[in-house]
C-alpha cells in the first residue's frame, strides 16, 4: 500500500466472543488496520495513542463486563472511531483513584487521548464503548519547502531543582 494517509471511509470488524488473548489480538488487528490506512507513515505517536485506547477499552470490557464481544474500527477522513462491544449493562464512569495506586486510570487516559468518547446501549442488552480520535496530519511531500527555523539565543541553563537557590551548590548527600 502507499505511504500516504488513506482518506476514504473504511470499517473493520473483529469478533472477540470467547477468544483468548483479546487485548493482544485487538492491538494486532488495530495495528494492521492503521498500517493499511497509512497512519504508520506519519510517526509512532498517533498509532501508539490509538493502540493504548484499544487496550484500555478492551481491558475494561474484560474487567467490568463478561469480556468484549467485538471491536469495530471506523476510519473516515474526519476521525477514527473505535468501538468495543460487551454484554455489560453499566455504562463506564470515571472513578476517583489515587495516582500512586494501580488501576482506575483507563478512562482518564481515554479522556486525554480521545477527542470524544462515550457508550451506547445495545438493543437486546450490552453496550458499545466508543472513542474518536482525529487522524494524524499527512506527512509533508518530499521536496516541499519547510519554513526556516527561527534562531534563538541560548538562555541560561535550567537550575538544578535540588540545588541551593542562592549558591547553585548541590545539597549534601542524603544517607
**pLDDT per position in the chain (175 positions), as tens?**
444 666 679 999 999 988 889 999 999 999 999 999 998 777 778 899 999 999 999 999 998 888 999 999 999 999 999 999 999 988 887 766 655 555 566 778 888 999 999 999 999 999 999 999 998 875 545 554 444 444 444 444 444 444 444 444 444 444 4
What is 69-108 written as a DSSP string? Answer: EEEEEEE-SS-EEEEEEES--SPP------TTSSSS-HHH
Report the C-alpha gap between 10 and 38 in whole angstroms. 13
Report the C-alpha gap between 16 and 68 in whole angstroms. 6
Give the model's pLDDT for residue 105: 65
What is the CB neighbour count within 10 angstroms for residue 30? Answer: 24
Give the model's pLDDT for residue 32: 96
Phi then psi for residue 67, to 5 deg, are: 100, 160
- Say which residue the cell 475494561 belongs to: 60
Answer whether 53's CB lies under 8 Å from 45's CB: no
- 3 state SS of 48: helix
Give the model's pLDDT for residue 155: 43
Q: Using one digit for the tens of pLDDT, what is the confidence trace for 11-45?
A: 999 999 888 899 999 999 999 999 999 987 777 78
Beta bridge mates, 100: none
Cell of 106: 483507563
Report the C-alpha gap between 68 and 142 in whole angstroms. 42
Report the C-alpha gap between 83 and 80 in whole angstroms. 10
- Say which residue the cell 534562531 belongs to: 151
Give the model's pLDDT for residue 163: 46
For residues 80, 109, 119, 24, the Cα torsion angle rounded to the nearest 10 degrees is 70
Amino acid at each position: 500500500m502507499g505511504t500516504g494517509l488513506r482518506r476514504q471511509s473504511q470499517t473493520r470488524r473483529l469478533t472477540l466472543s470467547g477468544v483468548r488473548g483479546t487485548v493482544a489480538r485487538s492491538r494486532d488487528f488495530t495495528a494492521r488496520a492503521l498500517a493499511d490506512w497509512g497512519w504508520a507513515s506519519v510517526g509512532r505517536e498517533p498509532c501508539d495513542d490509538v493502540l493504548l485506547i484499544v487496550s484500555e477499552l478492551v481491558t475494561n470490557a474484560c474487567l467490568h463486563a463478561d469480556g468484549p464481544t467485538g471491536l469495530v474500527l471506523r476510519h473516515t477522513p474526519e476521525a477514527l472511531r473505535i468501538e468495543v462491544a460487551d454484554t455489560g449493562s453499566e455504562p463506564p464512569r470515571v472513578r476517583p483513584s489515587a495516582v500512586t495506586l494501580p488501576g482506575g486510570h483507563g478512562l482518564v487516559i481515554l479522556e486525554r487521548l480521545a477527542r470524544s468518547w462515550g457508550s451506547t446501549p445495545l438493543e437486546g442488552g450490552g453496550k458499545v464503548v466508543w472513542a474518536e480520535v482525529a487522524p494524524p496530519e499527512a506527512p509533508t511531500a518530499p521536496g516541499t519547502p519547510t519554513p526556516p527555523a527561527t534562531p534563538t539565543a541560548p538562555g541560561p541553563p535550567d537550575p538544578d531543582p535540588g540545588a541551593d537557590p542562592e549558591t547553585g551548590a548541590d545539597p549534601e548527600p542524603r544517607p
